[in-house]
Amino acid sequence: MVDVLVTGGAGFIGSNFVRYALATHADWRITTLDKLTYAGRRENLHDVMDNPRHAFVHGDIGDAAVSGPLVEKAAIVVHFAAETHVDRSILAAGEFIRTDVEGTFVLLEAARRAAGLTRFVQISTDEVYGSVASGASRETDELKPRNPYSASKAGADRLAYSYWATYDVPVIVTRASNNYGPYQFPEKVIPLFVTNAIDDIPVPLYGDGRNVRDWLHVDDHCRAIDLLIEQGTSGEVYNIGGGNDVMNVDLTHRILDGLRKPASLIKPVADRPGHDRRYCVDTTKLRGLGWQPQVPFEDGLRDTIEWYRRNEWWWRPIKENDPAFKAYYQAQYGRTT
Protein backbone atom coordinates (compact mmCIF):
# COMPACT_ATOMS: atom_id res chain seq x y z
CA MET A 1 0.00 0.00 0.00
CA VAL A 2 1.09 3.58 -0.72
CA ASP A 3 0.81 5.99 2.24
CA VAL A 4 -0.58 9.34 1.11
CA LEU A 5 -0.96 12.36 3.38
CA VAL A 6 -3.50 14.97 2.30
CA THR A 7 -3.37 18.19 4.31
CA GLY A 8 -6.50 20.32 4.23
CA GLY A 9 -8.49 17.32 3.04
CA ALA A 10 -11.66 18.54 4.76
CA GLY A 11 -11.73 21.68 2.62
CA PHE A 12 -13.19 22.19 -0.84
CA ILE A 13 -10.48 20.93 -3.18
CA GLY A 14 -8.90 18.59 -0.62
CA SER A 15 -12.16 16.70 -0.01
CA ASN A 16 -12.79 16.36 -3.74
CA PHE A 17 -9.23 15.07 -4.12
CA VAL A 18 -9.57 12.52 -1.30
CA ARG A 19 -12.78 11.18 -2.86
CA TYR A 20 -11.20 11.08 -6.32
CA ALA A 21 -7.99 9.43 -5.11
CA LEU A 22 -9.76 6.70 -3.10
CA ALA A 23 -11.83 5.83 -6.17
CA THR A 24 -8.87 5.95 -8.55
CA HIS A 25 -6.06 4.26 -6.61
CA ALA A 26 -7.01 1.00 -4.91
CA ASP A 27 -3.49 0.78 -3.42
CA TRP A 28 -3.52 4.21 -1.74
CA ARG A 29 -4.03 4.52 2.02
CA ILE A 30 -4.91 8.16 2.66
CA THR A 31 -4.55 10.14 5.85
CA THR A 32 -6.34 13.49 5.92
CA LEU A 33 -4.81 16.04 8.30
CA ASP A 34 -7.08 19.02 8.86
CA LYS A 35 -7.51 21.67 11.53
CA LEU A 36 -11.21 22.04 10.73
CA THR A 37 -11.20 25.82 10.49
CA TYR A 38 -14.40 27.57 9.42
CA ALA A 39 -13.74 26.22 5.89
CA GLY A 40 -12.86 22.65 6.86
CA ARG A 41 -15.80 20.40 7.58
CA ARG A 42 -16.21 16.71 8.35
CA GLU A 43 -19.38 16.83 6.23
CA ASN A 44 -17.20 17.37 3.16
CA LEU A 45 -15.86 13.83 3.67
CA HIS A 46 -19.14 12.28 4.86
CA ASP A 47 -19.06 9.46 2.30
CA VAL A 48 -15.41 8.47 2.83
CA MET A 49 -15.03 8.81 6.62
CA ASP A 50 -15.67 5.08 7.08
CA ASN A 51 -13.58 3.95 4.15
CA PRO A 52 -10.98 1.50 5.53
CA ARG A 53 -8.31 3.12 3.32
CA HIS A 54 -8.95 6.56 4.79
CA ALA A 55 -8.03 7.96 8.21
CA PHE A 56 -8.92 11.40 9.48
CA VAL A 57 -6.63 13.29 11.86
CA HIS A 58 -7.87 16.54 13.42
CA GLY A 59 -4.78 18.72 13.82
CA ASP A 60 -2.77 21.74 12.74
CA ILE A 61 -0.04 21.39 10.11
CA GLY A 62 1.94 23.89 12.19
CA ASP A 63 1.99 21.49 15.15
CA ALA A 64 5.15 19.51 14.43
CA ALA A 65 4.25 16.86 17.03
CA VAL A 66 1.14 15.98 15.00
CA SER A 67 2.13 16.69 11.40
CA GLY A 68 5.78 15.57 11.61
CA PRO A 69 5.20 11.83 12.12
CA LEU A 70 2.49 11.80 9.43
CA VAL A 71 4.84 13.36 6.88
CA GLU A 72 7.71 11.09 7.91
CA LYS A 73 5.75 7.93 7.16
CA ALA A 74 4.23 9.18 3.88
CA ALA A 75 5.30 8.23 0.38
CA ILE A 76 3.25 11.11 -1.08
CA VAL A 77 2.22 14.41 0.51
CA VAL A 78 -0.40 16.58 -1.17
CA HIS A 79 -0.42 19.86 0.72
CA PHE A 80 -3.70 21.74 0.31
CA ALA A 81 -4.05 23.11 3.85
CA ALA A 82 -4.19 26.90 3.81
CA GLU A 83 -6.18 29.96 4.64
CA THR A 84 -7.60 30.64 1.20
CA HIS A 85 -9.97 33.58 1.07
CA VAL A 86 -8.53 36.85 -0.26
CA ASP A 87 -11.21 38.97 1.43
CA ARG A 88 -10.46 37.41 4.82
CA SER A 89 -6.74 38.04 4.28
CA ILE A 90 -7.54 41.72 3.74
CA LEU A 91 -9.54 41.82 6.99
CA ALA A 92 -6.83 39.98 9.00
CA ALA A 93 -3.64 38.47 7.57
CA GLY A 94 -2.10 36.75 10.64
CA GLU A 95 -3.56 33.29 10.12
CA PHE A 96 -2.46 33.37 6.48
CA ILE A 97 1.16 33.84 7.48
CA ARG A 98 0.93 31.28 10.29
CA THR A 99 -0.68 28.53 8.21
CA ASP A 100 0.31 29.21 4.61
CA VAL A 101 3.94 30.14 5.31
CA GLU A 102 4.91 28.78 8.75
CA GLY A 103 2.71 25.70 8.48
CA THR A 104 4.29 24.83 5.14
CA PHE A 105 7.72 25.30 6.72
CA VAL A 106 6.86 22.77 9.45
CA LEU A 107 5.78 20.21 6.83
CA LEU A 108 8.89 20.77 4.72
CA GLU A 109 11.18 20.30 7.73
CA ALA A 110 9.51 16.94 8.36
CA ALA A 111 9.81 16.11 4.66
CA ARG A 112 13.60 16.38 4.95
CA ARG A 113 13.49 13.46 7.40
CA ALA A 114 10.94 11.39 5.45
CA ALA A 115 12.98 8.49 4.13
CA GLY A 116 10.32 7.03 1.82
CA LEU A 117 8.95 10.30 0.42
CA THR A 118 8.69 10.30 -3.38
CA ARG A 119 6.45 13.34 -3.93
CA PHE A 120 5.58 16.54 -2.04
CA VAL A 121 2.96 18.47 -3.97
CA GLN A 122 2.85 22.12 -2.93
CA ILE A 123 -0.58 23.41 -3.96
CA SER A 124 0.11 27.01 -4.91
CA THR A 125 -2.14 29.33 -6.95
CA ASP A 126 -2.27 31.44 -10.10
CA GLU A 127 -2.64 34.45 -7.79
CA VAL A 128 1.12 34.41 -7.12
CA TYR A 129 1.68 35.94 -10.57
CA GLY A 130 -0.41 38.95 -9.61
CA SER A 131 -2.75 40.67 -12.01
CA VAL A 132 -1.99 40.04 -15.70
CA ALA A 133 -3.39 42.67 -18.05
CA SER A 134 -2.97 40.54 -21.17
CA GLY A 135 -1.54 37.23 -22.29
CA ALA A 136 -1.05 34.24 -20.01
CA SER A 137 1.39 33.66 -17.13
CA ARG A 138 4.07 31.08 -17.74
CA GLU A 139 5.74 29.11 -14.95
CA THR A 140 8.96 31.11 -15.41
CA ASP A 141 7.25 34.50 -15.06
CA GLU A 142 8.04 36.80 -12.20
CA LEU A 143 5.85 36.46 -9.09
CA LYS A 144 4.06 39.68 -8.17
CA PRO A 145 1.47 38.81 -5.49
CA ARG A 146 -0.62 41.81 -4.47
CA ASN A 147 -2.73 40.76 -1.48
CA PRO A 148 -1.83 39.11 1.85
CA TYR A 149 -3.25 35.74 0.74
CA SER A 150 -1.32 35.57 -2.51
CA ALA A 151 1.83 36.93 -0.87
CA SER A 152 1.66 34.17 1.76
CA LYS A 153 1.10 31.58 -0.95
CA ALA A 154 4.03 32.94 -2.94
CA GLY A 155 6.20 32.61 0.16
CA ALA A 156 5.15 28.99 0.61
CA ASP A 157 5.57 28.30 -3.13
CA ARG A 158 9.19 29.47 -3.12
CA LEU A 159 9.95 27.94 0.29
CA ALA A 160 8.84 24.54 -1.03
CA TYR A 161 10.98 25.03 -4.13
CA SER A 162 13.96 25.92 -1.94
CA TYR A 163 13.63 22.62 -0.07
CA TRP A 164 13.99 20.82 -3.39
CA ALA A 165 16.96 22.94 -4.51
CA THR A 166 18.68 22.79 -1.12
CA TYR A 167 17.73 19.46 0.46
CA ASP A 168 16.48 17.43 -2.50
CA VAL A 169 12.94 17.11 -1.11
CA PRO A 170 10.89 15.82 -4.11
CA VAL A 171 8.75 18.95 -4.42
CA ILE A 172 6.40 19.79 -7.27
CA VAL A 173 4.62 23.15 -7.22
CA THR A 174 1.21 23.55 -8.86
CA ARG A 175 -0.42 26.89 -9.67
CA ALA A 176 -4.09 26.40 -10.42
CA SER A 177 -6.69 28.93 -11.46
CA ASN A 178 -10.06 29.51 -9.75
CA ASN A 179 -11.74 26.21 -8.91
CA TYR A 180 -15.46 25.57 -8.81
CA GLY A 181 -17.61 22.55 -7.99
CA PRO A 182 -19.32 20.82 -5.05
CA TYR A 183 -18.38 21.46 -1.39
CA GLN A 184 -16.90 24.95 -1.95
CA PHE A 185 -17.45 27.09 1.14
CA PRO A 186 -20.35 29.45 0.45
CA GLU A 187 -18.38 32.67 0.81
CA LYS A 188 -16.40 32.22 -2.44
CA VAL A 189 -18.09 33.86 -5.37
CA ILE A 190 -19.85 30.97 -7.14
CA PRO A 191 -21.38 29.22 -4.10
CA LEU A 192 -22.14 32.58 -2.46
CA PHE A 193 -24.00 33.89 -5.49
CA VAL A 194 -25.80 30.59 -6.14
CA THR A 195 -27.00 30.18 -2.57
CA ASN A 196 -27.93 33.86 -2.18
CA ALA A 197 -29.87 33.75 -5.44
CA ILE A 198 -31.73 30.58 -4.41
CA ASP A 199 -32.99 32.61 -1.43
CA ASP A 200 -33.58 35.79 -3.49
CA ILE A 201 -30.86 37.61 -1.52
CA PRO A 202 -28.88 40.20 -3.58
CA VAL A 203 -25.51 39.08 -4.94
CA PRO A 204 -22.76 41.60 -4.11
CA LEU A 205 -20.69 42.22 -7.24
CA TYR A 206 -17.43 44.04 -6.52
CA GLY A 207 -16.47 47.20 -8.40
CA ASP A 208 -17.38 47.33 -12.09
CA GLY A 209 -17.67 43.53 -12.26
CA ARG A 210 -15.22 43.38 -15.17
CA ASN A 211 -12.50 41.42 -13.36
CA VAL A 212 -11.64 38.17 -15.13
CA ARG A 213 -11.03 34.74 -13.61
CA ASP A 214 -10.22 31.46 -15.39
CA TRP A 215 -12.56 28.78 -14.06
CA LEU A 216 -11.29 25.23 -13.55
CA HIS A 217 -13.62 22.42 -12.52
CA VAL A 218 -12.35 20.77 -9.36
CA ASP A 219 -12.46 17.32 -11.02
CA ASP A 220 -10.10 18.54 -13.76
CA HIS A 221 -7.84 19.93 -11.02
CA CYS A 222 -7.81 16.54 -9.23
CA ARG A 223 -6.91 14.76 -12.47
CA ALA A 224 -4.04 17.20 -13.04
CA ILE A 225 -2.60 16.69 -9.55
CA ASP A 226 -2.87 12.93 -9.94
CA LEU A 227 -1.02 13.07 -13.27
CA LEU A 228 1.71 15.23 -11.77
CA ILE A 229 2.18 12.85 -8.85
CA GLU A 230 2.87 10.11 -11.41
CA GLN A 231 4.61 12.03 -14.17
CA GLY A 232 5.79 15.39 -12.88
CA THR A 233 9.44 16.26 -12.38
CA SER A 234 10.71 17.31 -8.97
CA GLY A 235 11.76 20.95 -8.73
CA GLU A 236 9.30 21.95 -11.46
CA VAL A 237 6.29 24.26 -11.39
CA TYR A 238 3.09 23.43 -13.32
CA ASN A 239 0.23 25.79 -14.13
CA ILE A 240 -3.26 24.29 -14.14
CA GLY A 241 -6.05 26.27 -15.81
CA GLY A 242 -9.48 25.56 -17.24
CA GLY A 243 -9.17 27.91 -20.22
CA ASN A 244 -12.49 29.52 -19.24
CA ASP A 245 -11.77 33.25 -18.90
CA VAL A 246 -14.99 34.83 -17.69
CA MET A 247 -15.77 38.34 -16.47
CA ASN A 248 -17.45 38.39 -13.06
CA VAL A 249 -20.47 40.21 -14.41
CA ASP A 250 -20.95 37.56 -17.11
CA LEU A 251 -20.50 34.79 -14.55
CA THR A 252 -23.16 36.44 -12.38
CA HIS A 253 -25.64 36.60 -15.26
CA ARG A 254 -25.00 32.94 -16.08
CA ILE A 255 -25.68 31.95 -12.47
CA LEU A 256 -28.88 33.99 -12.29
CA ASP A 257 -30.05 32.70 -15.67
CA GLY A 258 -29.29 29.13 -14.58
CA LEU A 259 -31.54 29.62 -11.56
CA ARG A 260 -34.15 31.63 -13.51
CA LYS A 261 -33.62 34.58 -11.19
CA PRO A 262 -33.80 38.26 -12.25
CA ALA A 263 -30.75 40.42 -12.97
CA SER A 264 -32.18 42.89 -10.45
CA LEU A 265 -30.61 40.68 -7.75
CA ILE A 266 -27.19 42.03 -8.79
CA LYS A 267 -26.03 44.55 -6.21
CA PRO A 268 -22.92 46.52 -7.22
CA VAL A 269 -20.84 47.07 -4.08
CA ALA A 270 -17.51 48.69 -3.21
CA ASP A 271 -14.54 47.04 -4.86
CA ARG A 272 -12.12 44.69 -3.09
CA PRO A 273 -9.00 46.71 -2.15
CA GLY A 274 -6.17 45.90 -4.56
CA HIS A 275 -8.57 43.72 -6.58
CA ASP A 276 -6.51 41.84 -9.18
CA ARG A 277 -8.05 42.59 -12.55
CA ARG A 278 -7.28 39.39 -14.36
CA TYR A 279 -5.57 36.03 -13.93
CA CYS A 280 -4.73 33.74 -16.82
CA VAL A 281 -2.25 30.86 -16.92
CA ASP A 282 -0.48 29.23 -19.83
CA THR A 283 -0.96 25.45 -19.44
CA THR A 284 1.29 24.28 -22.30
CA LYS A 285 3.66 22.52 -19.89
CA LEU A 286 0.93 20.42 -18.25
CA ARG A 287 -0.76 19.69 -21.57
CA GLY A 288 2.59 18.35 -22.74
CA LEU A 289 2.11 15.53 -20.20
CA GLY A 290 -1.23 14.61 -21.78
CA TRP A 291 -3.65 16.53 -19.54
CA GLN A 292 -6.48 18.65 -20.79
CA PRO A 293 -9.60 19.87 -19.02
CA GLN A 294 -12.56 17.59 -19.63
CA VAL A 295 -15.42 19.62 -18.13
CA PRO A 296 -16.84 22.34 -20.42
CA PHE A 297 -17.63 25.40 -18.30
CA GLU A 298 -21.27 25.46 -19.35
CA ASP A 299 -21.81 21.87 -18.16
CA GLY A 300 -19.69 22.29 -15.04
CA LEU A 301 -21.50 25.45 -13.96
CA ARG A 302 -24.93 23.92 -14.62
CA ASP A 303 -24.03 20.80 -12.59
CA THR A 304 -22.52 22.90 -9.81
CA ILE A 305 -25.63 25.07 -9.53
CA GLU A 306 -27.68 21.87 -9.46
CA TRP A 307 -25.47 20.43 -6.70
CA TYR A 308 -26.10 23.45 -4.45
CA ARG A 309 -29.81 23.30 -5.27
CA ARG A 310 -29.97 19.64 -4.24
CA ASN A 311 -27.66 19.83 -1.24
CA GLU A 312 -29.16 22.48 1.01
CA TRP A 313 -28.37 20.12 3.93
CA TRP A 314 -24.73 21.02 3.28
CA TRP A 315 -24.83 24.83 2.99
CA ARG A 316 -27.94 26.05 4.75
CA PRO A 317 -26.67 25.29 8.28
CA ILE A 318 -23.52 27.31 7.53
CA LYS A 319 -25.37 30.31 6.20
CA GLU A 320 -28.22 30.25 8.70
CA ASN A 321 -26.83 28.84 11.95
CA ASP A 322 -23.08 29.46 12.00
CA PRO A 323 -22.35 32.63 13.99
CA ALA A 324 -18.85 32.82 12.44
CA PHE A 325 -20.37 32.97 8.95
CA LYS A 326 -22.79 35.68 10.01
CA ALA A 327 -20.00 37.68 11.65
CA TYR A 328 -17.90 37.42 8.50
CA TYR A 329 -20.81 38.38 6.24
CA GLN A 330 -21.55 41.41 8.40
CA ALA A 331 -17.89 42.49 8.45
CA GLN A 332 -17.50 42.02 4.71
CA TYR A 333 -20.84 43.19 3.36
CA GLY A 334 -22.56 44.87 6.31
CA ARG A 335 -22.17 48.38 4.95
CA THR A 336 -23.07 47.58 1.41
CA THR A 337 -25.80 44.96 1.22
Catalytic entry in 34, 60, 126, 226: 126
Decide: is 21 part of the binding site for ligand NAD (CB under 6 A).
no
Would residue 149 show up in a list of annotated catalytic residues for this protein?
Answer: yes
Whether the Cβ atoms of residue 246 and residue 199 lie closer than 8 Å to each other: no
CA dist 124 and 157 (Å) reads: 6
Return the residues of window 233-272 that contact ligand TDX according to CB under 6 A. 248, 272
Residues in contact with 13: Cβ distance below 8 Å, sequence separation at least 6, in sequence order:
80, 123, 179, 218, 221, 222
CA dist 224 and 232 (Å) reads: 10
Catalytic entry in 60, 100, 149, 214: 149
Instruction: Indicate the residue among 170 and 191 with the shorter CB distance to ligand TDX.
Output: 191
- Directed axis angle between helix 64-72 and helix 104-113, to 10°? 40
The alpha carbon dihedral of 60, 63, 66, 69 has a sign of positive
306-309 long-range Cβ contacts below 8 angstroms, 24+ apart: 307/181, 307/182, 308/182, 308/186, 308/191, 308/194, 308/195, 308/198, 309/194, 309/198, 309/259
Decide: is 204 part of the binding site for ligand TDX (CB under 6 A).
yes
Instruction: Indicate the residue among 248 and 265 with the shorter CB distance to ligand NAD.
Output: 248
Decide: is 122 part of the binding site for ligand TDX (CB under 6 A).
no
Decide: is 276 part of the binding site for ligand NAD (CB under 6 A).
no
Q: Which of 125, 152, 239, 244 binds ligand TDX (CB under 6 A)?
A: 125
Instruction: Indicate the residue among 7 and 252 with the shorter CB distance to ligand NAD.
Output: 7
Chain residues in the site for ligand TDX (CB under 6 A): 84-87, 125, 127, 178, 188-189, 192, 204-206, 211, 213, 248, 272
Chain residues in the site for ligand NAD (CB under 6 A): 7-8, 10-14, 33-37, 39-40, 60-62, 80-84, 99, 103, 123, 125, 153, 176, 178-179, 185
> Which residues form the catalytic set?
126-127, 149
